[in-house]
Structure 1
């Protein structure tokens, strides 16, 4: 009797022309392993990890405008849509966008979109004006009530005024949650995502000096969703604007980010 037939008999599955009960002795180790695996209940496949992509600005809010007239809102939407396409095509991930067209969303609406979707990770995509016109390259930011440096603080101040309302201070209820955030899963996961993302992209994309920063960004203030703001470059820098105006360069940025984000959400503590 071949191994497949023996395994069927051992599992109690009839085999034509055979009357056999596995009583005369134990199967060999390899067959025992096969038998254990066959009898083991099959675990349900893990649902794909959802990454909520937030293209910064939009509609009446163009965001930064480069010297050549490049609008941040167009750059971020194009990168986010390509990034979503690649994440949806990948294994174990799917993507959603806070906006898919040139529409205006308030900062609270963006935060709420991630919360409503129960996203595993929220990525806000930007290409702002930097406090220093020489600054260029990709960088990533997590939430902190105290900014890591003046550069990050200036970016957060600009972003928090993006929808015309001063969002630099959250309400007391959310502030209380944030006060205990450092010891909780969300903050740890946000930091992991930031560090892993920067470490992964540095071999393929130019990075800002000191690319891992933090500040009091209103758009990162979801108590349930790990959140990172990614500056893909700065339109205040002529070289970065030239790069971000190029559709091929934007696709390359999206491809690198997609690769690294898929790795991030399929690792602990997301897995």
Structure 2
């Protein structure tokens, strides 16, 4: 089974939870351009592959990637396919860039409450609402009722996402440099799935030579991957029953 064309799902067992890794950018979208001309899309794909291999080595999860090579994938495709596959976790990987070369460190994003409110209203206004929430057909519900139910689901998902973000901050903070203010909230499109815990991890600044060396080295990626594996294992072991 494939997440998108050319991106096979690698899985040790069909009953294990699915983690979807989302290497940011790709194809015609290079992302931020780093020191020496290294594009963000190359770094995120290399990091995703390292994380995938570390997660699969645990034999506790299935793993899918939104892209396995240098191709463009829309934001909507990234999140919608993960929802349809029933992902237990969606982790989007990006890199920052800044005009100040001293800016450094990773940051971890979850969805803001304002964005959640607006997204619930937008989804409720859709003509076809049959598949917005697992096990709930909202087609017969009015827009106000649908918006309320979606909002409740999304806020629960936000709470679960925050728990994973806490674990990721703790584990990654041991393995790599994080920004002095590493936890943030934003209206990022890839975080808006109402039923899939979603976190976006900015892995560092491509404009910072030290961050770039870390992400560009196999040893650095291995440290990053090990920390994500630890955070993910703890998260999935303590998440409780799925909805």
TM-score band w.r.t. shorter chain: 0.7 to 0.9
Give yes or no for the alignment of 1:185 onto 2:156.
Answer: yes
Which whole-Å deviations, capped at 9, do the CAs of 1:127-185 have from their partners, x for residues lacking one? Answer: 121475432112211011559xxxxxxxxxxxxxxxxxxxx988722684697248743
Give yes or no for the alignment of 1:213 onto 2:181.
Answer: no
Counterpart secondary structure, 2:32: coil
Alignment of 1:74-93 (within 5 A): 74-93=42-61
Give yes or no for the alignment of 1:229 onto 2:200.
Answer: yes
Name segments (4+ residues, structure 1) moved above 3 Å.
130-133, 168-171, 174-179, 181-184
Contact 1:174 1:223 in 2 (8 A): no
> Among 214, 226, 237, which residue is 1:255 paired with?
226
Q: Over aligned residues, Cα RMSD in angstroms?
A: 2.7
Structure 1 partner of 2:21? 53
Identify if the C-alpha distance between structure 1 residues 171 and 73 changes in structure 2 by more than 3 Å, giving closer, same or farther. Answer: farther
Give 5+ residue unaligned stretches, structure 2: 1-12, 126-146
Give 5+ residue unaligned stretches, structure 1: 1-44, 148-167
Separation of aligned partners in 2, 1:133 and 1:115? 37
Contact 2:24 2:92 in 1 (8 A): yes
Alignment of 1:142-161 (within 5 A): 142-146=110-114
Greater strand proportion: 2
Give yes or no for the alignment of 1:115 onto 2:83.
Answer: yes
Separation of aligned partners in 2, 1:270 and 1:142? 22
The alpha carbon displacement at 1:86 in A equals 1.5
Give yes or no for the alignment of 1:172 onto 2:143.
Answer: no
Task: Report the TM-score when normalising by structure 1.
Answer: 0.69
Task: Report the TM-score when normalising by structure 2.
Answer: 0.76
The alpha carbon displacement at 1:233 in A equals 0.7
> Among 87, 92, 102, which residue is 1:124 paired with?
92
The alpha carbon displacement at 1:125 in A equals 0.5
Higher alpha-carbon Rg: 1
Separation of aligned partners in 2, 1:174 and 1:143? 18
